[in-house]
Amino acid sequence: MEKIPVAVLGATGTVGQKFIALLDGHPFFQVHEVVASSRSAGKSYKEACEWKQDSFIPTGIASLTVKGTEEDLESRICFSGLDASVAGEVEERYARAGKVVISNSKNHRMDPDVPLIIPEVNSDHFKITKKQPYSGAIITNSNCSTMFLAMALAPIYKNFGLEAVQVTTLQAISGAGYPGVPSMDILGNVIPYIGEEEEKMEREVVKILGSFDGERIVPADFAVSAQCNRVAVFDGHTETLSIKLKKKATPEEIREVLKSFRGIPQELSLPSAPSEPILVFDEPNRPQPARDVWKNRGMSTCVGRIRPCPVFDIKMVILGHNTVRGAAGAAILNGETYVKLGYLK
């Protein structure tokens, strides 16, 4: 297929850089435009960007002239890593101009007519974009900590139902962006507060696992209680879960539905899709960020320590790469799914 020209919004930031790195050599998409704030506009990308990835700036991107967020774009799809302080208005303007905006930003996630997509879980929610007041569309992916929680819960909810979920997160410093958390705050320490994180998890999971009834997204019918902590790990959010089921199940049954879980991206063999969206570990001390976060190029959710819970029914540990599957990689997979399902006209 002829490559689709795309723009990266917020291209000089942490998520924007990850978009640039992950889109290098992509079989569907070609980075055609890079967009950032007025401070960067008019400069070459190399001049404007303090590159922090573990690879070189891709050939051809370094010399692109950065456009400002008020400029018109040629690209059909915009991948947005814009800061929340500006993302809402900018994304709406491009959607009104006919662009499909696939956003990692929080601003539109809970809008009633905006889908919050994990394509293995709820790709049917793309249909609600037809009800948006734009000639283009806005599509979002979840908060990074929500991503892995929703992925792990999806097959459990489908097979056994859920009544309640308690989750505690141990979130990597890269989730705070660059320069992130001051070293004297995080080294040798745990910070038991991340602004708005708990509320995002509690709201977003039930939207993702909800159903589209043709008119609206009906939230899933279970409660989520989240407690979020920042820890001195570079990449990888670890989460511990206790789950109350509607239909009782053994740890072995839970393990099997997680291991066998597949979705539309796997059926379509999409380029960013992991062959196993959920990796189940047998070792009693896994998953671990230092050893497992890059499994399947950082696109899988890792699950381990599935065992009975004496308060609820089942408890487990999950892990995911917060800047890949939890951010830019998730948005790119959303774009691939949107295109292959025929929504891009």
Sign (positive or negative) of CA dihedral 119, 124, 129, 130: positive
Provide the β-strand partners of residue 181.
none
- Say if CB 193 and CB 228 are below 8 A apart: yes
What is the residue type of 295?
K
Q: Which listed residue (49, 144, 228, 302) is catalytic?
A: 144
- Say if CB 102 and CB 85 are below 8 A apart: no
Active site residue 78: no
Sign (positive or negative) of CA dihedral 93, 94, 99, 102: negative
- Phi then psi dihedrals of residue 167, to 5 deg: -130, 135
- Say if CB 125 and CB 217 are below 8 A apart: yes
Do β-strands 237-245 and 162-171 pair in parallel, antiparallel, or remain unpaired? antiparallel
Active site residue 228: no
Per DSSP, 44 falls in state: B
The full DSSP string for 185-235 is HHTT--B---TTHHHHHHHHHHHHTSEE-SSSEEPPS-EEEEEEEE-S-SS
Q: For the chain, state the CA radius of gyration.
A: 19
User: At what angle are helices 14-23 and 329-340 packed, to 10 degrees?
Assistant: 50
Q: Which listed residue (125, 237, 302, 321) is catalytic?
A: 237
Question: Where in the sequence numbering do the catalytic residues fall?
Answer: 144, 237
